[in-house]
Structure 1
């Protein structure tokens, strides 16, 4: 009998809006995550609501946005026009409802799909919307997208605008948290792109007067070769300089206020226009890589009805500025040709610095070319039978696969640790790179070492970052070492490697440390894995003093069956972040430089190893306390 006979009208299911969002959240917000990564879903929820408040500012309504985050609950208040009171419920609960479909009202807005606020509503335990306009207010409350309270319109003396409060659903975003550094970075980007806008985050004011020029000033870690070149035009803004130490080029790109972390047509057009303009200005056919060497730039453009390559809008796919406008490539090229050329003619000193920089890059490239060629041949040969890399099937640069955001490369040390991870990993999205021992301390060395050191060369090839992050193969690069002194040292050496040669990988939030449990506490019925002494004590209180305690001394001691719990949906990652206060140079000099008394003191304080209490001592102490 044909199986088709079982396929009938009963098999066809029509989901309502909230069911569909909750069943397939990845379609709307990318990956879920727990907040340890900057592209985790909780930040997309936050961004979707702030985007709406920013659009009000862009339309000339309200100059201040308030954002408060306390214990996982978010409050966002703008002082714009307020949602029309009769449509408050529809705007946050009916797909394809919103003002942004009227292109006259929101000509160059980001949130054109009418989905953002609905996705936040559907994926929140609790969601409240309040609109105030014309001396009246309207409030509606939802739980997991279901309307639970629809208050009638009332008189109000509050300032006009919209207030939204939501708490992400813990069953969707397990053990989530908001990392304040990620939120601050997002808020700063809104301010850089909207000079004159004030965002108050948890009581602190954020404001930018010089737009993208401020963005570069606040984000470049190394000394710069020349003053920032700042160019503005209608629907386009560019800021540009060169880093003294970094050899790779780095770009911050935005479309209609959206940070396109994956670049796209506008970023590609800018890189091309920069090369073309400088070749014509100096009247020399310089190699493109020499022109772009050590460039740090930011570009923001406004496009009518932009097309992005994913729902999370991280890569622009549009080719045109608008229905009647030029292509993005032509638009950016014409702008750069006129404005950058004029700037360099007026600022001969900066033009001379850039010229000397290009010549220096050319000389260094030629010196490295022989080593690079050998290294590439070696990497190509090794990749055919590379025992260091156990690859996965999906990669971060597979733009059309929504699982790309989960792609992870674990960098491990030793056969036993890498063996456990390899056996328990998800072969679709998780890859493993094995180190044979402690990597070389590359502090103060030149990029030459990346090609001369086989391990570094293979790691660079595995990540595919030699020419920048555009084709990065894994979204999460995770250092997985033992939590002892040797493991800490390997972490520092790897962080040094990335900060020294690929700082943008760290700056863009791709580098993490894997947290693994220190203890296993179990009885015949339950097993608890504990990541700290506090968690171990809580487990002992729950399971009783007869429970068995095991301390994991290293990753190799954790069996593959157990390891799958620690790298699956409950994975715990600590992001490696750069603080605003310290430059990369300062960080590297402190950790990897000569043993100054200050550094010795820090290491003694932070890597102190004390004798662990015995199991009996712990249980005795617990009984005594109770």
Structure 2
């Protein structure tokens, strides 16, 4: 029993009767299909349908549709005009009844004396529904010798039917309906000329010998106008649709009336035209009383059944199908068919007011009869063409086995929540249903990853494989990795979402110069020394990889006061940093504690190699020392520590180390500081000064040795008369053999600098450019360039010679004549404060290099992690890599399917070839719907299917190929509104701390969009502009913010306004016929706005 809720009043007064046309305004979707752009244009078609009904009755041969300013539309015909007299039953004007009463019209009386024997408007709803949804409507009727007029607002008459004036001699009768939609109800407010033109063109084909004109007076200075008139009817329509295809035979056309016996004798007018082409697609259009029925109906069923039956009977009769062969199926005989059927009957039955499907049962037999007779006759009279048709059907039958693969892919596949047999590259979401969506992206870079045994370097001192990370993640343990922060410094960051990203993936092996090998997918990106990324498959031995170097601290190193603590190399500062200080930065940045909480960082578990931020705590020096004294058993007094201390002091290495330490200036200085009180004794002071001077003099030779080595190398080269002479002679010889060059240079310089205007102009321009900000940025850029190029060259010398040979480096500088390669002493002074030792160490730690990249024959499951904020991490092998790109999504309801490269052009491919394509199979399997005649929306795993490609030529091509596939093989996915195109930004503008994203606009060039956006800034020259051509150029946070966040993104829904025109465009642009495509390109070449070359 239903549990009763709190009592609420529900009585007779709660029943509401919507009077007049209020029901239409309240629920427009029931009458015109909604409130969107399609419904807006449907208003025009309802009025046009009424005009065409006059043509079907034989009283009209011209319909005029006019688009005017302020979203006003006028539809005029030269028919009989809507009656204006008083209806005897209602006492109201017939015009007012038609325009204000639902189910009022002259099409309900189908007797022999009725006004309409055939009509598309059978519900009596069209005109009144348009009136109800119009802010203003004016009906002007030319009839009975006069012009009549009545005005309405929101479906209600504002005036009575008025007699305006007499008709002039020769002035035709007819109706002119002018209306402006009510945009408080309709969501869209722009009538599309192309949409209207395509539908009216279609009507003109179906209603032959009727002229239909579309005029757009919104265009200035001259209105745009097009007129449609076709003598050939459906025959001409089929020829027009196939003009970009190679036909197998002439168009088969038939037209006649069929009398259907039954309870009531019914006459059905049938016209059919069809033709086979070499295409693999089927194009079908069906009309009932000139109204396009996109969902088909009984007339289309009759056409298909007749064609299949005729071909099977002919093939058996001609011996083309043997007794052992099965009959052709409906799909076999439809492939490559372009067919149009149009029926006219007095009482058509549709599923709804929008008339998308015909349901009259008597129509099927009538159409089948006409098609069978006409097609039988054609095949008998044209045996050569008949054989070609049957052979095409045989090829389709052989391809039917390939279609079974698609069915098996779905039927034997997973349930909606089971991803065990989904494509390995699919990054699925955890929830499915109404809110679920899948992004189809180009390139497997969205999911590059590593073998499960690949080790990741962790901040706690361990190296764990991806499989081990997943296991610890499931146990709730938080791990941290090394990362390169956005400012180029070394850092640590959380590891999240450790997971398997692909099953049975292709992998390659990358070998580094340190002997380490990495197994990963070809597309995984490695970080280069300059902070950019490069796919593994594209790496060469010329590439310089961002390195991870670590060591344990030693008090013997200058400035180091701690022993045995991990240190990590920072590529930005070219220095060693204690890892616990790097982790301390993380904690302070996250607000875990403040620097003022204490001067010391304490390792909570007393393990000084565990530098997880969660293992660090700041405290005062006093408290820290007291804590360690209280826990000596965990530190210095551990038995193993004591034993290790004893053994170490008994070794010769320890004694030598102590000796070396005592000789070092740093140790001497420390001892001196500790013994300052002794210096008050003059005799002691004198003694110490004598011995120190002796030690200093001895040490000076050693300290001078390194400087002397560099100086000697330079002097060795330039002290050679040969070297100096060669360089001088090279310059002298060039100008000797080219005296005209010297003269030309001289003369040009004199002429230029004698011009005072030029000197003034150049001075002004230089002054404008060299602002303090520009000088600073230029200096930074040059410093960065000089540093990276010099360090890279020094590293190459080190690798080639086994040591840093400065003489070889100097020779390399002179040979290449590259002024951006600094002298070694300049490098030391500029970047290392004159410290040569630091410079040598920086070269040693500068990068890693590639030894080889090898293809393997292996396929395996691969894994990855996500790293928030920085999106890169270090492998234990010593290099940094990008993490998976999937963190830009919400894993709960957003899935990502990466497709490698450009998919197959399905416009040209047969079904069997198409289903052998791995990317197509992955797409079919991920969506779960099947394809073509096996397509079922009931199994669709995602409510929104979103195409997301780069904003470049390749991205546009991939998007077009995907649209072709969906249009040809998952047509209903588009028709039901499930297909979308993501709209990523094309520019990012940064002005100080503020930034904004700029999106593309249809018909507007990128240059114009950018110029218009920059106009909003006071100083456009200071605005930093970033152009996004690839999605990979955005970091994951930007991708989420601009393209994937449902609250802020923009999606373009893919719709089909006109199936016939869409079919023609796809066939022309993606089909095999070249001439039509060439003509299209030549015609539109001058209108190209964004040419990518």
TM-score strictly above 0.5: yes
The 10-residue stretch of structure 1 (138-147 or 258-267) with the greater mean CA deviation from structure 2: 138-147
Any conservation in 2 of the 1:82–1:132 contact (CA below 8 Å)?
yes
Alignment of 1:36-435 (within 5 A): 40-71=38-69, 72-85=71-84, 86-103=93-110, 104-150=114-160, 152-157=162-167, 158-202=171-215, 203-220=225-242, 221-234=244-257, 235-244=269-278, 246-282=279-315, 283=317, 286-288=327-329, 289-319=331-361, 327-345=362-380, 347=381, 349=382, 351-363=383-395, 365-366=397-398, 368-384=399-415, 385=419, 386=422, 411-413=440-442, 414=446, 434-435=897-898
Helix, strand or coil for the counterpart of 1:272? helix
Question: In structure 2, how many angstroms separate the alpha carbons of the residues matched to 1:22 and 1:378?
Answer: 46
Task: Note closer, same or farther for the CA distance 1:536–1:119 as it changes in structure 2 (3 Å cut).
Answer: farther
Q: CA deviation at 1:209?
A: 0.6
Q: CA deviation at 1:530?
A: 5.5
Deviation at 1:239, TM superposition (A): 0.5
- Offset, 1:84: 1.4
CA distance in 1, matches of 2:160, 2:988: 48
| 1:555-588 deviation line (CA, Å, top 9, x unaligned) | 82436885345558xx566879968997835655
Quote the offset at 1:108 in angstroms.
Answer: 2.4
Name the CA distance, whole Å, in 1 between partners of 2:989 and 2:159. Answer: 44
Q: CA deviation at 1:292?
A: 2.7
Q: Greater CA deviation, 88-97 or 481-490?
A: 481-490
- Does the 8 Å CA contact 1:423/1:560 hold for their aligned counterparts? no
Aligned pairs, number: 571
Greater RCO (CA < 8 Å, at least 6 residues apart): 2
Question: Is 2:1041 the partner of 1:558?
Answer: yes
> Partners of 1:575 and 1:419 in 2: how far apart?
33
Residues 1:469 and 1:381: Cα distance change in structure 2 (over 3 Å): closer
The 1-side partners of 2:185 and 2:312 are apart by 52
Q: 1:212 to 1:408 in 2, by over 3 A?
A: farther
Per the TM alignment, residue 145 of structure 1 is displaced from its structure 2 partner at its CA by 2.7
Q: Does residue 466 of the first structure (1) align with residue 932 of the second (2)?
A: yes
Q: Which structure 2 residue ranges, 5 or more long, are not aligned? A: 85-92, 216-224, 258-268, 448-883, 1032-1037
Q: Check 1:382–1:181 CA distance in 2 against 1; reply closer, same or farther (3 A cut).
A: farther
- The answer (yes or no) to whether the contact 1:410–1:477 under 8 Å persists in 2 is yes
Q: Structure 1 residues 584, 370: CA separation in 2 closer, same or farther (over 3 Å shift)?
A: closer
**Segment of structure 1 superposing worse, 504-513 or 147-156:** 504-513
Instruction: Map 1:521-536; keep pairs closer than 5 Å.
Output: 531-532=1000-1001
Q: Give the corresponding residue for 1:27.
A: 30
TM-superposed deviation, 1:210: 1.3
Quote how far apart the aligned CAs of 1:238 are. Answer: 0.9
The answer on whether the counterparts of 1:228 and 1:241 sit within 8 Å (CA) in structure 2 is: yes
Counterpart position of 1:494: 962
Aligned to 1:403: none
Give me the whole-angstrom Cα distance separating, in 2, the residues matched to 1:590 and 1:18: 52
Cα deviation, residue 539, structure 1: 8.1
CA distance 1:118–1:251, change in 2 (3 Å):
same
When residues 587 and 376 of structure 1 are mapped into structure 2, their CA distance, relative to the original with a 3 A threshold, is closer
**Residues 467, 424 of structure 1: CA spacing in aligned structure 2 closer, same or farther, 3 A cutoff?**
same
Query: Does the C-alpha gap of structure 1 residues 174 and 265 become closer, same or farther in structure 2, counting only changes over 3 Å?
Result: same
Offset of residue 543 of structure 1: 11
Looking at structure 2, the residues matched to 331 and 574 of structure 1 have their Cα atoms a distance apart, in angstroms, of 33
Q: Is the 8 Å Cα contact of residues 424 and 561 (structure 1) preserved in structure 2?
A: no
Listed one character per residue, the Cα deviations across residues 166-215 of structure 1 (whole Å, up to 9, x for unaligned) are: 22333333344333332222112211222211111113221111111011
SS of match in other structure, 1:558: helix
CA contact (8 A) 1:29 1:44 kept: yes
- In structure 2, the CA distance between the partners of 1:531 and 1:338, relative to structure 1 (3 Å rule), is closer
Q: What SS does structure 2 have at the residue aligned with 1:490? A: helix
CA distance in 2, matches of 1:538, 1:147: 46
Structure 1 residue 66: Cα displacement: 0.7
Structure 1's 490 and 335: CA in aligned 2 closer, same or farther, altered over 3 A? Answer: closer
Q: Which stretch of structure 1 is more off in the superposition, 10-19 or 441-450?
A: 441-450
Structure-2 separation of matches of 1:475 and 1:340: 42
Q: Displacement, 1:150?
A: 4.0
> Given that residues 401 and 912 in structure 2 are in contact (C-alpha distance below 8 angstroms), is that contact kept between their aligned partners in structure 1?
no
In structure 2, relative to structure 1, the CA distance for the partners of 1:393 and 1:291 (3 Å cut) is same
Equivalent residue runs for 1:476-495 within 5 Å: 479-495=947-963
Residue aligned with 2:98, SS: helix
Distance of 1:336 and 1:110 partners within structure 2: 23
* Structure label with greater radius of gyration: 2
